[in-house]
Copies of this chain bind each other. A is one copy, B any other.
Amino acid sequence: MSFLSDTTAPAHPALLDAMVRANEGAQASYGSDSVSARVKAQLKEIFSTDLELVLTVSGTASNALALSVLAPGDTAILCHDEAHIHRDERGAPEFFTGGAKLIALHGDHARLTPATLEAALAEWPSDFVHTTPPSVLSLSNLTESGTAYDVAAVKALAGLAKARGMRVHMDGARFANALSSLKCDPADITWRAGVDVLSLGATKGGALAAEAVILFPSVMDRFAALQARQKRAGHMLPKMRFVAAQFEAWLENGRWLELAGHANAMAAKLAEGLSAVPGAKLLHPVEGNEVFIDLPQEAADALNAVNAGFYPWPHGGYRFVTSWQTKAEDVARVVKAARG
């Protein structure tokens, strides 16, 4: 039992099986294999559009590669102050872009509002040589607080960015959880809403190490640049078929949404249970597989006593993350302990 992170969970067995199956005979290297081609076909169907993609093995790599083809080094990336790209990637975006500036904006529940974005755009002009001009808006969906941007919210923010000639990146490390929670079409919340590039993560959703950088048609002309940067960053794996195999199994027959739906359901149950503890207080709406909650000390102690596995969070309260393999009985056990 662990609610530390969805990255501490094992991989889903179907994905490992797929890797074993992919281990047959010789295959072209560096992403030219047949499995990679099938993943591309799957994604085109899922997103109802032509697209280009490269596969990587970490969300940090996906985000940094995505941003590197959107943001020249002397421009700025606007994001939420809690964004993973700003807080948790040791400056990978700065490294991959050659020094682009991350301008961190505030907003409740790790979400940006159009008003905040407009104010930032007013402060950072596009045509003054002394000032770093914004070139990219990056949105995390799910956000770092486990909340989701819905289609209307993405459209509104992306619209403001587009009006300034900027590009829009979505960090979708938990995109499946957002989709499953919002029950919207993948196309509607991405390219149809103005998203140019999506970092689509499978690792937190059940893969061993599988992430994708997806270029939608508006920026497909940057595919050669993306491949060059993937190679230059050491992320073009010789035996790419094994990453592709994970993706194929994860996407097939809606497994990705099913696993995310399970994780979300467990989070909802956990949130409901813990909220009922006297003195507990949810800190953010639970719109995915993360629960941020303030708990009385005795409840926290009781959870530690049963080795629940969770983190105290820097700004106060605690974070619990569920995953594809979180068991309902573990949730029940934890809730019982907290209420104890």
Contacts and interface: CB of A to CB of B under 8 A. Distances in A.
- Report the copy number of this chain in the oligomer: 4
A90, A132, A229: residue with the most chain B Cβ atoms closer than 10 Å: A90
A81 to B, nearest CB: 10
A232 B29 contact: no
A182 to B, nearest CB: 24
Contact of A27 (B8, B130, B314): B8
A131 B232 contact: no
B74 A95 contact: yes
A8 B29 contact: yes
B29 A23 contact: no
Contact of A74 (B2, B16, B97, B228): B228
A90 to B, nearest CB: 4
A22 to B, nearest CB: 8
A224 B74 CA distance: 12
A131 B90 contact: yes
Contacts of A309: 26
Nearest to A2: B26
B100 A91 contact: yes
Nearest to A228: B74
A27 to B, nearest CB: 6
Contacts of A10: 23-27
Contacts of A98: 73, 95, 98-99
A235 interface: yes
Contacts of A227: 129
A147 B205 CA distance: 44
8 contacts: A1-B26, A16-B19, A20-B20, A57-B235, A73-B91, A94-B101, A99-B99, A234-B235
- 5 smallest CB-CB distances across A and B, nearest first, come from A61-B234, A7-B238, A94-B99, A2-B26, A60-B234
